[in-house]
Amino acid sequence: MKYAAKKLAALLATMLAVSFLAFAAFQVVAGDPATDRLGTEATPQRVAELRHEMGLDRPFLVQYGSWLGGFVTGDPGQSYSGGPVADLLSARLPVTLTLSLMAFALTLALALPLGLRSVRRGGRLEGAVNTVANQFLMALPPFFTGILLTWLFSILLHWFRHGAFPGFGADVGGSLWYLLFPAVALAIPRVAQTVRMLRSTVLAEMDKDYVRTAIARGNDRSGVLYRHVLKNSLVPVVTFLAQTMAEIVAGSIVVEQVFNLPGLGRLLLTSISGRDYPTVQAIVVILALWVVLANTAADLINRFIDPRLGGART
Amino acid sequence: MLEIRDLHVKFHSRCKEAVAGVSLSIADGEILGLVGESGSGKSVTAMSVAGLLPRKQCSYSGDVLLDGQDLLHADRAALRKIQGRDIGVVFQEPQSSMDPLMKIGRQIEECLYLHTDMNPAERRARALSAMARVELPEPETLYDKYPHQLSGGMLQRAMIAAAAVIHPKLLLLDEPTTALDVTIQSQILELLKRLNREYGMSMLFISHNLNVVRRITSRVAVMQTGVIVEAGATEEVYSNPQHPYTKKLVAAIPSRNKPDFDSNM
Amino acid sequence: MKTLQKAVRAHRNACFIAGCIITGVLLALILLGAVWTPYDPTAMRGSETLLPPSFTHLFGTDNFGRDIFSRVLKGAGFTALVAGGTVAIGGLFGTLIGALTGYFGGAVDEALMRLNDTITAFPSILLALVCVAVFGSGKYQVLLVLGIVFIPSFARVSRTAFAALRDANFVQSARLMGAGSARILFVHMLPNTLHILLPALTIGFNNAVLAEASMSFLGLCGQPPEASLGALLSEAQGMFVTAPWYALCSGGMIVALIFGVGLIGEGLQDGRGDRNA
């Protein structure tokens, strides 16, 4: 419990630092949004009025404080494109969230059995085929696979209509079905990576002394693997999976573009090119929160698995 | 009971045989010592008895018979039935030889889980009594501890309890006291002696330390570069070594320590 | 043992050789593309639009009649340049920082590694996207941004490698013989970390290719008409129905680049953990 509290404090500290950096960085590059909005021909008086209206004449830390306060209470400010950022986010967050979770679930569901299978079957030829297939699958960028999947399943087989994402408000089942294809594109290289990681971790674990003890007690290969080695291999794998979650989120930004999905990634892109910094800032903080949450969760799970982490409970 | 006849083991990665024609036998209830420096082939001999030779990486010949059953050439499935049930093994480093993420109690009862059809409650009771027998304090509490929470000496007791819980015919002890400090060492030796006396368990005790072997065994075999150079009653070998290598080993023992060690018998 | 080791080594060697061949061919093509392409990659020929691959146009043409082979060569050059530059910057500074902190340790090491752990938790593409939003998306800006973004991951690998050797016997004996820190670090330790650093470089290169391709796919790297493979692929997606070979060739080039270097990395790895394979 104490450990969880400490982790939570670290999480908050990290998020505070990230949000401050994001805020400061965009404050610097944004220039003067009031001038931006009014154009260069506006009178200085009008600009000053708008600056006051937007709260830009306050000290930097006060601006940060009020922005952070707003963010925490669900109001991360006004978009330069008009309308509150919160409205933009609330429409798009579920899409990206669902897509990432689907891709992650797919990765888990495929990588764990495949990884264990590759450990149990250790033939020479199969090993070589595994390695090459692994490297090849890892080389498939999700945006390229996405295009190929679109061609196969949308243009050729008509399993889904590219560009016609129904939206969760209209059709939940249809939306999930549509998201399955980008999720597959995202998952393919991750599955290959995870299989490889799992395999090398388990094989390294197999060389440990306690494995010899387990064999000496009369365990068969699967007894050794499932009763002993697997649990011992889990800690690095869980850490790796948190990293994978983060990579999936990053990849989904690109894949959303391929599949014409109204998610955070596309919002981020339009905001970047439209110089809509309040929106960019909010998205950056949300994505960061996601990454930090995944890592914190991994730490907590690992502590649950391995009592040696974080000291003995005697 | 255990009969090794003309055992040869050669690893593919080495040009010399690790074990070059070893023959020895252990009678019921006997403790045999196997002494030699590292690389003399004593551990490989033990591994062939325990069925732990990496078979794909070496060639082997000869007979290893446990009550007439061939261990060296038995197939994996047959071997697994013997491992743990008829032969228990205790290794040198208790810290690394125990699964770090499995509770002590569960490791101790693993042999029961694998080789008997006891239910969990029976297994637990049996494990607890085994823990008491190896003089682990507060078995109920220790049962739920993890290896990193125990000292080396306690872990080695737990290892012995795990190997002995099912009363195997033979206990293989591969340098069981080497990683422990001296006082713990003699406690463990006393414990082993008692197990041998009370349950008639045969033991193969492997050590590079002649002094330790002398305290627990009645017969000893001395190995050098894969062959047994001298064998006989322990006191005989100790007081009147014949082979030059044995003489060197005996001469290397700091004799002053002897009375202190023996006093707590 | 020996036969197994041999088998593993042979298999790794095969990976290494295959990777070298693929990468070598691609590199030759890229260098060729830098000085000569069969057609002007930006020239539009109205009479030759949407031609499928043939001997006159190896990868076909797009719907403006541009030769895709020429475009892919130029694009691969662009991508390889940015990725190579990224690895050069990230690898150089990362290795240096990691070597120094790993060797000397202390409070600076602690603090830097904490910071490092936090930064490497974020995917490099994400960091690069944010930086590009701040600094702009020219070719050299992206190269610089990616290079900086890649420093922490290299630093982490190199720190681990150097810290592991800090107390090795040969390092201590060098120290006793009066060798200076710089000499110990670069003459004695560096060669012994290469088996870790080189595979890390190949992985870094592949991540850089992916990051660059992703960013140019999103239109955030380079200005038209110079186009990287990612930008070509994004263009090709729009004409997938009429000219599928465009997407296949530009995407395939990305895959081939990553696959080749990945195989080299696989071959370079010391085989630990794969002993039982």
With an 8 Å Cβ cutoff, is A26 touching chain C? yes
Residue ranges of domains in chain A: 90-275
Q: How many residues does chain C have?
A: 277
Q: Give A160 to chain B, closest Cα distance, Å.
A: 47
**CA distances, A81 to each of A30, A38, A90, C137 (Å):** 14, 13, 16, 22
pLDDT of residue B262: 44
Q: Which of residues 183-202 of A touch C (CB under 8 A)?
A: 200-201
* Whether the predicted pLDDT of C272 surpasses 60: no
Pick the closest to residue C258 from C207, C215, C199 (CA basis). Answer: C207
pLDDT of residue C4: 54
Sequential pLDDT tens for chain A (314 residues): 677 888 888 888 888 888 888 888 877 776 677 777 777 777 888 888 887 877 777 888 888 888 888 888 888 888 877 788 888 899 899 999 999 999 999 999 999 999 988 887 666 677 778 889 999 999 999 999 999 999 999 988 999 988 889 988 889 999 999 999 999 999 999 999 999 999 889 988 988 999 999 999 999 988 999 999 999 999 999 999 999 999 999 999 999 999 999 999 989 988 888 878 888 889 988 988 998 899 999 988 998 898 888 644 43
Nearest residue on chain C to A270, judged by CA atoms?
Answer: C218
- Tokens, residue C208: 């850089």
Which residues contact residue A76 at a Cβ distance below 8 angstroms, ignoring those fewer than 6 apart? A67, A70, A85, A86, A89, A278, A281, A282, A285
Domain that holds residue C218: 2-276
* Whether the predicted pLDDT of C211 surpasses 60: yes
Neighbours of C224 (CB within 10 A): 9
Q: Give C191 to chain B, closest Cα distance, Å.
A: 27
Across the interface, of A218, A220, A232, the residue whose CB is closest to B115 is A218
What sign for the dihedral angle of Cα A15, A19, A20, A22?
Answer: positive
Q: Give C109 to chain B, closest Cα distance, Å.
A: 28
With an 8 Å Cβ cutoff, is A264 touching chain C? no
* Whether the predicted pLDDT of C8 surpasses 70: no
With an 8 Å Cβ cutoff, is A236 touching chain C? no
Q: Give A5 to chain B, closest Cα distance, Å.
A: 24
Q: How many residues does chain B have?
A: 265
pLDDT of residue A310: 61
**Is the pTM higher than 0.90?**
no
Q: What is the pLDDT of residues C61-94, one digit of tens each?
A: 888 888 999 999 999 999 999 999 999 999 999 9
- Tokens, residue C94: 């990362």
pLDDT of residue A256: 94
* Whether the predicted pLDDT of C274 surpasses 60: no
| C111 contacts in chain A (CB < 8 Å) | none
Nearest residue on chain C to B11, judged by CA atoms?
Answer: C1
Q: Model ipTM?
A: 0.88
| B12 contacts in chain C (CB < 8 Å) | 1-3
By CB neighbour count within 10 A (0-12 exposed, 13-18 middle, 19+ buried), where does C83 fall?
A: buried
pLDDT of residue C93: 95
pLDDT of residue B126: 93
pLDDT profile of chain B (265 residues), mean per 10: 91 87 91 89 90 87 90 89 92 91 94 93 94 91 93 92 92 89 89 90 91 89 91 89 86 60 43
Calpha distance C83→C142 (Å, rounded) = 10
**Higher pLDDT, residue C270 or A80:** A80
With an 8 Å Cβ cutoff, is A206 touching chain C? yes
- Asked if A232 and B93 come within 8 Å (Cβ–Cβ), the reply is no
With an 8 Å Cβ cutoff, is A122 touching chain C? yes
| C230 contacts in chain A (CB < 8 Å) | 143
Q: Based on the structure, what is the number of domains in chain C? A: 1
Cβ–Cβ under 8 Å, residues C99 and C190: yes
Nearest residue on chain A to B83, judged by CA atoms?
Answer: A218
**CA distances, C265 to each of A75, A269, C90, C196, C201 (Å):** 47, 33, 17, 10, 8
Calpha distance A77→A87 (Å, rounded) = 10
DSSP state of C154: H
Calpha distance B241→B236 (Å, rounded) = 7
> φ and ψ at B8, to 5 degrees?
-125, 130
What sign for the dihedral angle of Cα A135, C121, A88, A50?
Answer: negative
With an 8 Å Cβ cutoff, is A216 touching chain B? yes
Nearest residue on chain C to B55, judged by CA atoms?
Answer: C1
With an 8 Å Cβ cutoff, is B144 touching chain A? no
Q: What is the pLDDT of residues C40-54, one digit of tens each?
A: 888 888 888 888 888
- Asked if C2 and B54 come within 8 Å (Cβ–Cβ), the reply is no
Q: Which of A135, A162, A202, A247 to mutate to test the interface with C (most CBs of C within 10 A)?
A: A135
* Whether the predicted pLDDT of C238 surpasses 90: no
DSSP β-ladder status, B170-174 and B227-233: unpaired
Calpha distance C183→A45 (Å, rounded) = 64
Neighbours of A175 (CB within 10 A): 19
With an 8 Å Cβ cutoff, is B68 touching chain C? no
Q: Which of residues 189-248 of B touch A (CB under 8 A)?
A: none
What sign for the dihedral angle of Cα B95, B97, B103, B104?
Answer: negative
CATH topology of domain A90-275: MetI-like fold (1.10.3720)
Pick the closest to residue C261 from C211, C212, C205, C210 (CA basis). Answer: C205
Between chain A and chain B, how many beta carbons pairs sit less than 8 Å apart?
79
pLDDT of residue A232: 93
Q: What is the pLDDT of residues A138-151, one digit of tens each?
A: 999 999 999 999 99
Q: Which of C9, C132, C218 to mutate to test the interface with A (most CBs of A within 10 A)?
A: C218
Sheet containing B19-26: give its strands across.
Answer: B19-26, B2-11, B58-66, B69-70
With an 8 Å Cβ cutoff, is B12 touching chain C? yes
Calpha distance B177→B189 (Å, rounded) = 8
- Asked if C125 and A250 come within 8 Å (Cβ–Cβ), the reply is yes
With an 8 Å Cβ cutoff, is B106 touching chain A? no
Burial B84-115 (b: 16+ CB within 10 A, else e): bbbbbbbbbbbbbbbbbbbbbbbbbbbbbbbb
Q: What is the pLDDT of residues C123-168, one digit of tens each?
A: 888 888 888 877 878 888 889 999 999 999 999 999 999 998 988 8
Amino acid letter, C251: G
